[in-house]
């Protein structure tokens, strides 16, 4: 089922999500619906708040197959990089975002098993982007003041809609 994506400045995008106690059928269905929604909208990742749910669930596919994580958290970071990112909740705007180059993330998979993912490059950026959403952090919060000034008109146009 395709879910409706919340668009900035929707308040749900600024709220913190709650942990999921156990991965059951409802959570698996949510993850599948989020993947379907992400693919339909040509995204590389999607977090539950982007579809209006304050649950710690992210889905990612950077072209290497889908990743589903429940209660993901970054346990290791190294290096810095400036990377151009977009967001399904901030459509048609690409921003230069400061990110960590390498990350290690842990969370639960669909089988309720603890997993760790070591990532660099695009996967590392996607994991950071989606995990940020779970804390109410948007790419707008990760850009320089100069980038904000450059994008002011585009951001104001989103708020007007």
User: How do residues 109-127 score in pLDDT, each as one tens digit?
Assistant: 999 999 999 999 999 999 9
Quote the pLDDT of residue 60: 98
- pLDDT, mean over the chain: 96
* 3-class secondary-structure state, position 71: strand
* 3-class secondary-structure state, position 109: coil
DSSP code at position 112: S
Q: pLDDT category, 75, cuts 50, 70, 90?
A: very high
What residues act catalytically? 130
Quote the pLDDT of residue 97: 94
How far lies 96's CA from each of 53, 78, 86, 139, in Å? Answer: 27, 19, 9, 9
Q: pLDDT category, 157, cuts 50, 70, 90?
A: confident
Class of domain 11-160 (CATH, top level): alpha beta
Quote the pLDDT of residue 154: 86
Look at residue 161 and tell me whether its pLDDT is greater than 80.
no
pLDDT in tens, 3-60: 999 999 999 999 999 999 989 999 999 999 999 999 999 999 999 999 999 999 999 9
């Amino acid at each position: 089922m395709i879910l409706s994506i919340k668009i900035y400045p929707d308040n749900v995008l600024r709220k913190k999500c709650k942990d999921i106690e156990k991965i059951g059928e409802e959570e698996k269905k949510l993850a599948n619906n989020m993947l379907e929604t992400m693919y339909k909208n040509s995204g590389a990742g999607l977090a539950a708040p982007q579809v209006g749910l304050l649950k710690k669930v992210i889905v990612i596919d950077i072209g290497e197959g889908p990743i589903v994580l429940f209660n993901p958290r970054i346990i290791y970071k190294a290096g810095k990089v400036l990377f151009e990112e977009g967001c399904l909740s901030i459509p048609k705007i690409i921003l230069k975002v400061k990110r960590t180059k390498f990350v290690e993330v842990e969370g639960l998979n669909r089988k309720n098993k603890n997993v760790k993912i070591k990532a660099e490059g695009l996967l590392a950026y996607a994991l950071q982007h989606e995990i940020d959403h779970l804390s109410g952090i948007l790419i707008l919060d990760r850009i320089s003041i100069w980038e904000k000034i450059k994008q002011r008109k585009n951001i104001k146009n989103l708020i007007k809609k």
